Amino acid sequence: MSERNDDFITYELQEFKLFEPLFRWARKKSLWIVAFCTGCGGIEMPPLATARYDFERFGIMPNPAPRMGDLFLITGYVTPKTLKRIIITYEMMQDPKYVMIHGSCPINGGVYWDSYNVVKQFDKYLPVDVAIAGCMPRPEAVMDGIMEIMRKIESGKADGWKRYRDNYEWYKKNQDELFGEGWREKEGKRWLAWI
């Protein structure tokens, strides 16, 4: 995005129309999850990864490195403090990237609807590709959400990263309303001192 330092080069790469179907197929079949678990949904991940549901058969792999990740799972309620980290992690991921939100809390606040310290509507701050309702969604529901995102990737409808690029001003305005101006530089300096 525009907030990057000078010794930090970003190559924007051309889209090859000819190979696009091949890349879409590969993207669909190898979604790497950024292992960033917020709230109570993180505990729903182990059943998905282990023998019973085994999401690795679809090529999904939990990956601790945000630079390599594709799919960002927001697993539960998001506080403003977490949201800062989520936004910075999201911006570290490389396009194309997808966001899936779990449970009612990121959709409309859920049981924290009147809490002073929970982000009620997540898609004001970051673009969302698939949302799964429920408190908590069962692993079946999460699998269904993952299938949905795979279908969307194949048909090219999972365009959250494009929307974030196009409507960056709007998202940034919302983020600044919550955290105050210049939070990104301040916090970024503190957490990512090496950049």
Residue type, 25: W
Of the two residues 28 and 102, which places its CB atom closer to another protein in the complex? 28
| Single residue of 29, 138, 186, 189 touching another protein by CB under 8 A | 29
Give the three-state DSSP class for 70. coil
Binding mask 81-110 for another protein (x = CB under 8 A): ------------xxxx--------------
* Calpha distance 44→50 (Å, rounded): 11
CA 43 to chain centre: 18
Q: How far is the CB of 118 from another protein (least distance, A)?
A: 28
116 binds another protein (CB under 8 A): no
Residues in 54-83 that interact with another protein by CB under 8 A: 54, 56-59, 63-65, 67-68, 70
Query: CA–CA distance from 77 to each of 74, 104, 145 (Å)?
Result: 8, 8, 18
| Single residue of 9, 17, 18, 116 touching another protein by CB under 8 A | 9
Buried b (16+ CB within 10 A) or exposed e, 138-172: ebebbbebbebbbebbeeeebbbbebbeeeeeebb
Q: Interface residues with another protein (CB under 8 A)?
A: 7-13, 15, 19, 22-23, 25-27, 29-30, 32, 50-51, 54, 56-59, 63-65, 67-68, 70, 93-96, 194-195
